[in-house]
Amino acid sequence: MGMSFSYGPPKDKQEMTKLLHAAVDLGITFFDTAEVYGPFTNEELVGEALAPYRGKVVIATKFGFDLSGKDNKPGAAGVNSKPEHIKQAVEGSLKRLKVQTIDLLYQHRVDPNVPIEDVAGAVKELIQAGKVKHFGMSEAAAKTIRRAHAVQPVTAVQSEYSLWTRGPEAEVLPTLEELGIGFVPYSPLGKGFLTGKMDENKTFDSTDFRSTLPRFTPEALKANQALIDLLGSIAKRKNATPAQIALAWLLAQKPWIAPIPGTTKPNRLEENIGALTVELTAEDLRDIDSAASKIKVEGARYPEKLERMTGL
């Protein structure tokens, strides 16, 4: 997402293509995009860059926003998961990704105006037609996941999850474990905050969506620094970075959790992959949980309008 959209101006296409190739060379096989990123330009970038690796990588994309509005910002025109809209969206994604089948197709946000059974039914038809392999959902509540899963088995659920966003632990993760569904945490590094590279003096460009998020105001950044201090102290002990500890913590939660950290920088790509070599013992995990439970995270993760689009 950050290569084309949301985190400041779009990045250089050639550089991002090189970075995607480097990721594959380093063993990354799972890539995540969506039609709304750009809109459309991120799917084009991913499709072009990963064309030489067909069959060696898995590409996930998403439908569910209405992109007919003038400014095309996610949420600006609202959500749309009508079956005919899903089918249209998939045709566009297939072209942009230069594939004949989408490996994993997520509903990006639950549409309160369309029964989830109808959404799952439309994806089921696309699977039967060979246009999609697997069905996913994003930011859906446990009961919605169950209803969809009864119509078309859900392969993966993607929601925000990290040391500072732990909502899925209450109901979603137990449901996924019971149903045998994988979990894909997005923003596993807290939209950059958990790298330890930000303090209350950090300023965001107007093209950076963090400038609109309550959790990234100077007051919230200052209050939430306690979480960075915690990660930093463990990182020192493990000869790692705070970002690597944040990712290793997620990887240690369940074997069926696959976080998707995003980056636009080669050194960060290598740092993120380095999280795989960080081993957190049961005692480390208890220490982290116990310390984290005493830290109150300040600031909502989204403005109210976007938060209403989550967890239906």
The pLDDT, as a whole number, for residue 308 is 79
Query: Residue 94: its pLDDT value, please?
Result: 98
pTM score above 0.85 = yes
Query: Is 3 inside any structural domain?
Result: no
Three-state SS for the chain is CCCCCCECCCCCHHHHHHHHHHHHHCCCCEEECCCCCCCCHHHHHHHHHCHHHCCCCEEEEEECECCCCCCCCCCCCCECCCHHHHHHHHHHHHHHHCCCCEEEEEECCCCCCCCHHHHHHHHHHHHHCCCEEEEEEECCCHHHHHHHHHHCCEEEEEEECECCECHHHCCHHHHHHHHCCEEEEECCCHHHHHHCCCCCCCCCCCCEHHHHCHHHCHHHHHHCHHHHHHHHHHHHHHCCCHHHHHHHHHHHHCCCECCCCCCCCHHHHHHHHHHHHCCCCHHHHHHHHHHHHCCCCCCCCCCHHHHCCCCC
Which residues, other chains included, contact 43 with Cβ-Cβ below 8 Å and sequence gap of 6+? 33, 34, 35, 37, 61, 93, 96, 97
Show pLDDT as tens, one digit a residue, over the chain (312 residues): 999 999 999 999 999 999 999 999 999 999 999 999 999 999 999 999 999 999 999 999 999 999 986 555 555 668 999 999 999 999 999 999 999 999 999 999 999 999 999 999 999 999 999 999 999 999 999 999 999 999 999 999 999 999 999 999 999 999 999 999 999 999 999 999 999 999 999 999 999 999 999 999 999 999 999 999 999 999 999 999 999 999 999 999 999 999 999 999 999 999 999 999 999 999 999 999 999 999 999 999 999 888 877 665
In this structure, are residues 248 and 1 in contact, taking their beta carbons and an 8 Å threshold?
A: no
- Asked if residue 2 is part of any domain, the answer here is no
User: Is residue 244 included in any domain, yes or no?
Assistant: yes
In a domain, 1, yes or no: no
Active-site option among 7, 37, 106, 161: 37
* Whole-number Å distance between alpha carbons of 189 and 265: 15
Q: What is the pLDDT of residue 76?
A: 63
pLDDT confidence of residue 191: 96
Does residue 159 form part of some domain? yes
The CATH number of the domain holding residue 115 is 3.20.20.100
Peptide bond into 214 cis (omega under 30): no
Instruction: Indicate whether 8 belongs to any domain.
Output: no
pLDDT (0 to 100) of residue 71:
58
> In this structure, are residues 312 and 144 in contact, taking their beta carbons and an 8 Å threshold?
yes
* Residue 37 is a catalytic residue: yes
| Tally of structural domains, the chain | 1
Domain that holds residue 300: 13-307
Residue 5 lies in a domain: no
Is 33 a domain residue? Answer: yes
pLDDT, residue 82, reads 98
pLDDT at 138: 98
